[in-house]
Chains A and B, each alone.
Chain A
Amino acid sequence: AQSVTQLGSHVSVSEGALVLLRCNYSSSVPPYLFWYVQYPNQGLQLLLKYTTGATLVKGINGFEAEFKKSETSFHLTKPSAHMSDAAEYFCAVSKDTGRRALTFGSGTRLQVQP
């Protein structure tokens, strides 16, 4: 069965600093990996996804993530945090045998300090 672990339920950075949100997965098959963002009182918005091909994936709002099979990781980064990045971020994995449902991590709440 597939699972996702997000290290750090809360991350605080200063505006302009590097954002690093960690995600590790386990999957019995090569996974498809996603990062979603959730702003208060809203649904989930896709930031980026990895399916096949290039392991460095660029997403919206300056975010990117690198799929590292040897480390079973898919960490999300952004070189310079902006106040508007404050939100909750979810890593998710798909493609377990027979099911397409997304399995989500527990989420990381990003706080950006002025």
Chain B
Amino acid sequence: KAGVTQTPRYLIKTRGQQVTLSCSPISGHRSVSWYQQTPGQGLQFLFEYFSETQRNKGNFPGRFSGRQFSNSRSEMNVSTLELGDSALYLCASSPRMGEYQETQYFGPGTRLLVL
């Protein structure tokens, strides 16, 4: 099976712009989670989607949003970009939602640089 894919891999934006990142989960996986990784804050949970519905959300401002499509692919959007949004954004998929012991499979990430 192909792994989790994320596009684009690298992105440069300027402050105030918005950005959309894409994630395709492993075939058959229905849950997609997003994480932000920065040197200062480490890995932080953004949100989780299952069956096209946001199920959990981390402590991020409303500028961060996402959605999931019927084929389980997910996008996340960041509006009004700030310098602090520069990070590696990781997507992870798992077969179901609510199963705490399930492994989350991570993609390679999208590295976003905000200038």
Contacts and interface: CB of A to CB of B under 8 A. Distances in A.
A100 B103 contact: no
A106 to B, nearest CB: 5
A101 to B, nearest CB: 4
Interface string B100-115: 1101111111000000
Interface stretch (A14-22, A45-53, A61-69, A71-79): A45-53
B74 interface: no
Interface stretch (B40-48, B65-73, B78-86): B40-48
A107 B4 contact: no
A90 B100 contact: no
Nearest to A101: B45
A28 interface: no
Contacts of A95: 100-101
12 contacts: A43-B90, A44-B90, A45-B106, A51-B101, A52-B101, A95-B100, A100-B100, A101-B48, A101-B58, A102-B35, A102-B43, A104-B42
